[in-house]
A and B are shown apart, each in its own frame.
Chain A
Amino acid sequence: NAGVTQTPKFQVLKTGQSMTLQCAQDMNHNSMYWYRQDPGMGLRLIYYSASEGTTDKGEVPNGYNVSRLNKREFSLRLESAAPSQTSVYFCASSEPGISVEAFFGQGTRLTVV
């Protein structure tokens, strides 16, 4: 039972480069989320998708785009990476009406130099 799978686990980018973080869940959840975690700031919501075909901005969306490709997959794209985007990124999924649990992936540690 894989749960929520993120790729890659680690990435180093140069300023201005682009990349896409991938997230897939096998629990048939409607809702998916992207968070970033920075020291002393907890987890902050970047974007979320309540269901396939919908996406909404969270607390810190600037510099990011997302795609809800299908019900399983929710990707996060950095078009032009900046050092301020150095962080650990977590994807999560939940099914609010059925399960109270929110499940998290293992995280992607991104460094922008």
Chain B
Amino acid sequence: ELKVEQNPLFLSMQEGKNYTIYCNYSTTSDRLYWYRQDPGKSLESLFVLLSNGAVKQEGRLMASLDTKARLSTLHITAAVHDLSATYFCAGYINTGTASKLTFGTGTRLQVTL
């Protein structure tokens, strides 16, 4: 059974600073997803990482995947207040007859002035 762990659970950072959220998973995962959730809202897809060494960037966010270490990171560069949200990573397994996403517990990011 795939288990996904994120850390930290809560992150308070100042505007302009850099930080990284870590996502470890327990078994082989076919893909790794990153989602953003604003309070009271649904989940917004940020990145889908499909293979070892994959790196994707959108604005101040960059996600990477190391399948050998079973680790994905979400790096925040020069944080701004608009990035305040909860970020989830999710591992994906396709057994051939079914596919499932398993989520981490989320990292609540608060960017302060």
Using a CB–CB cutoff of 8 Å, the interface residues on chain A facing chain B are: 31, 33, 35, 40-45, 48, 50, 56, 58-59, 90, 92, 94, 96, 100-107
Contacts and interface: CB of A to CB of B under 8 A. Distances in A.
A96 B43 contact: no
B102 A102 contact: no
B101 A102 contact: yes
B33 interface: yes
Contact of B103 (A40, A44, A96, A103): A44
B48 interface: yes
Nearest to A48: B100
By size class, the interface of chain B is 20 to 34
Please classify the interface of chain B as helix (H, G, I), strand (E, B), loop, or mixed, using the class held by over half of its residues: strand
B104 A42 contact: yes
Contacts of B94: 96
Given A96-B94, A101-B45, A102-B33, A40 B100 contact: no
Given A96-B94, A100-B48, A90 B101 contact: no
B43 A90 contact: yes
Given A102-B33, A102-B45, A104-B42, A50 B99 contact: yes
